[in-house]
Amino acid sequence: MTTTHCPYCALQCAMRLEPGPDGALAARPADFPTNRGGLCRKGWTSAEVLRTPDRLTTPLLRKDRTAEFTEVDWDTALDHVADRLAGLRAEHGPDSVAVFGSGGLTNEKSYLLGKFARVALGTSQIDYNGRFCMSSAAAGSMRAFGLDRGMPFPLTDVGEADVVLLAGANPAETMPPMMGHLSAPTLIVVDPRRSATAQQALAQGGMHLAPRPGTDLALALGLLHAVRAEGLADTDYIDARTTGFEATWAHAAAWWPEQTEHVTGVPATQIRAAARLLAEASGAYILTGRGTEQHAKGTDTVSAWINLALALGLPGTRGSGYGCITGQGNGQGGREHGQKADQLPGYRKIDDPAARAHVAGVWGVDPDTLPGPGRSAFELLDALGTETGPRAMLLFGSNPAVSAPDAGRVRDRIAALDLLVTADFVLSETAAMADVVLPVAQWAEETGTMTNLEGRVLRRRAAAAPPSGVRTDLEVLHGLATRLGQPAHRFPTEPDTVLAELRAASARGAADYSGVTPERLESGEALHWPVREGAEPTPRLFLDGFAHADGRARFTPVAHRPPAEATDAEFPLIATTGRLMGHYQSGAQTRRVAELAEAEPAVYVEVHPDTAARYGLAEHAWARVTSPRGSTLARVRLRGDARLDTVFLPFHYAGQQAANNLTNPALDPTSRMPEFKVSAVRLEPAAHHTGGENP
């Protein structure tokens, strides 16, 4: 029996992996502060993914995209990749090769992947799928607090609050064990849908505020107006611990509740009532999620919620605060150690000379040889195969053919590459487009560290050896780096050796892991970063001051603006996307688990009955949902509590059922987050579809 952590979301529930009579592992819950002995359906079935029948155990190679894959040995595969990379770099320069990572990789993999890109390849073209997850929240937190740790307090603190506002978060489906921490507080849920979390809020005597999609920023301004106008602001806190309130109030002054109701659709009475609930609570938290962040104004929207929290005196106060609910399993650690386009380990900026000098010293290279910032995730994907963009891409732990916005456009760009190499455990939709597929070990087959939604560094333990023929991502990076001329010691294959180097590279950085040792991890100590060498960890940030030089938090003046795309006569409805309890991300893992696939076998479109009738659609019928970018085929699911102007689709499905065929790649100017949550669409019967779950 091995105690480890779930491979899915950032709650990182503890579990035990127990071998059965046939040797197959089974997952059982273990006690841990975030899950308190619980698991969701995905966690209970997580071990089944390890033995999926289509698991890859041999490298696959093809000489051109029209050919079938051929099984080859590892030396043949790695030699081929290294030769192609060397040739492209010699002909087109180092930026002709791109690297795309994942918020699901361990800290060690994230760190070594960033090092591999900058040192072995010399490319600036590296980013990761976490750009689609946490970037707006990270940018908003950096603005306000000078530091980004999703939750700057333990999750257990939230359960002791009187009131919790959840903006664009649906943990009842995305992180069910988290709801145990939300059973006592009064909940205020901000979501255009009557989600499972919104239903729970109402059942507990709380509130559901349902703004029109794309108007969350206006709602936050309206709540701030109500707080100030009704004398509910914590003026002592504002004066002592913040700067910039008056400039921020100048923007919020026009958003009295009735004006906010006109724009958002949320009744003015509810806005005032929610403001009073928050202000009068003895402990309150404001938590944001992807629903409020995945917009072309996501950073400003996060700033608006932080402004509200600051006006109420919540951040940096025991028993109250602002936090962001991190999504992917290592969404926090994955953005700290160098796989972002503008970042070096320890949350250092790649264009900071001091940061470059420190990290280059650890790596044993000249700082001048390190590249500068590269393209953000969508911009990188959109440049693939173009005259000025990368000609090759190495992909680790991501499936952008399904998960990226305007997915049809991204698939076209991937197809235009001269070389695509994926490291995966199955032939995902993106791996199926590759020239080389390298079979890699999975979560229960290797050791490493993850950083959960509270900034707590965890020990993931190996419970079984990987299948014969399978290598770890660290071994893949080592094999490619040495073939590209790097000394073998520069790219270790042992996770603890990589962790030791990560500790040195992150030392004295914002995300300082220098005190995170295997011994402390094995002891079960709660290592919330920063964990400086020789110092105690930091479970609660900002109690004594914020991370700006003057110790004060910053209010940020922000103004509401409409979504990047408006509805019109051709596309009269708004489509928004989200998650299901039984599936995860692009579905490459969960769609291979029979129990989960049978429960939700196909994508659906959630529609109000009156809206469905207007377009000639009935319950369970197949509908075609079309945006200016593409179409999705989905079964109709009628919801009487849905908005008349809005439809909802889960994004875990592929091909003609991919919700991201619809989504808008318009980018936030600060975070470079795409606008996943608002797309103008039309609905029509799928007249030529003959049935089945895979149109």
Question: Are residues 456 and 336 part of one domain?
Answer: yes
pLDDT of residue 694 exceeding 50: no
Among the candidates 272, 303, 324, a domain finishes at: 324
Residue 548: inside a domain? no
Q: b or e along 24-42 (b: 16 or more beta carbons within 10 Å of the residue's beta carbon)?
A: ebebebbebebbbebbbbb
Question: Are residues 249 and 377 part of one domain?
Answer: no
> What phi and psi, each to the nearest 5 degrees, are found at residue 631?
-130, 155
Q: What is the pLDDT of residues 593-630, one digit of tens each?
A: 999 999 999 999 999 999 999 999 999 999 999 999 99
Predicted confidence band of residue 688 (pLDDT cuts 50, 70, 90) = low
Question: Are residues 590 and 671 part of one domain?
Answer: yes
Residue 532: inside a domain? no
Residue pair 243/236 in contact (Cβ under 8 Å)? The answer is no
Q: What is the pLDDT of residues 449-488, one digit of tens each?
A: 999 999 999 999 999 999 999 999 999 999 999 999 999 9
Q: What pLDDT shows up at residue 65?
A: 84
Distance, first Cα to last Cα, the chain? 42
Distance CA 555, CA 28 (A): 45
CATH number of the domain enclosing 22: 2.20.25.90
Q: What pLDDT shows up at residue 286?
A: 98
Residue 185: inside a domain? yes
How remote is the C-alpha of 346 from its chain's centroid?
19
Residue 564: inside a domain? no
Question: Are residues 143 and 122 part of one domain?
Answer: no
Question: Are residues 603 and 477 part of one domain?
Answer: no
Distance CA 271, CA 256 (A): 10
Q: What pLDDT shows up at residue 279?
A: 98
CATH number of the domain enclosing 120: 3.40.50.740
CATH number of the domain enclosing 663: 2.40.40.20
Residue 502: inside a domain? no
Distance CA 291, CA 262 (A): 21
What is the extent of the structural domain holding 303? 135-324
Residue 509: inside a domain? no
pLDDT of residue 182 exceeding 50: yes
Residue pair 573/610 in contact (Cβ under 8 Å)? The answer is no
pLDDT of residue 228 exceeding 60: yes
Q: What is the DSSP letter of 150?
A: S
What integer is the mean pLDDT of 85-114? 97
Question: Are residues 342 and 304 part of one domain?
Answer: no
User: Residue 570 corresponds to which tokens in the numbers above?
Assistant: 């051709």
> What is the residue-wise DSSP string for 39-104?
--HHHHTGGGGGG-TT---S-EE-SSTTSPPEE--HHHHHHHHHHHHHHHHHHH-GGGEEEEE-TT
Q: What is the pLDDT of residues 384-437, one digit of tens each?
A: 999 999 999 999 999 999 999 999 999 999 999 999 999 999 999 999 999 999
Question: Are residues 160 and 308 part of one domain?
Answer: yes
Domain count for the chain: 4
Helix (H) or strand (E) holding 604: strand 604-607
Residue 506: inside a domain? no
Residue 245: inside a domain? yes
Q: How many Cβ atoms from other residues are within 10 Å of residue 79's Cβ?
A: 15
Count of helix runs (H) and strand runs (E) in the chain: 23, 30
Which residue in the block uniquely carries the two structure tokens 């959960």?
452
Question: Are residues 149 and 127 part of one domain?
Answer: no
The reply to whether omega before 467 is within 30° of 0 (cis) is: no
Distance CA 226, CA 209 (A): 15
Q: What pLDDT shows up at residue 98?
A: 98
Helix (H) or strand (E) holding 416: none
Mean pLDDT of the chain: 96
Predicted confidence band of residue 507 (pLDDT cuts 50, 70, 90) = very high
Q: How far is CA 555 from CA 145, 502, 566, 620, in A?
A: 9, 33, 30, 48
Question: Are residues 458 and 354 part of one domain?
Answer: yes
Distance CA 259, CA 267 (A): 10
> What is the residue-wise DSSP string for 424-462?
ESS--TTGGG-SEEEEB--GGGS-EEEE-TTSEEEEE--
More confident residue, 357 or 690: 357
CATH number of the domain enclosing 152: 3.40.228.10
Among the candidates 260, 295, 324, a domain finishes at: 324
Question: Are residues 334 and 310 part of one domain?
Answer: no
Among the candidates 258, 289, 324, a domain finishes at: 324
Question: Are residues 139 and 268 part of one domain?
Answer: yes
Question: Are residues 285 and 378 part of one domain?
Answer: no
Q: How many Cβ atoms from other residues are within 10 Å of residue 408's Cβ?
A: 16
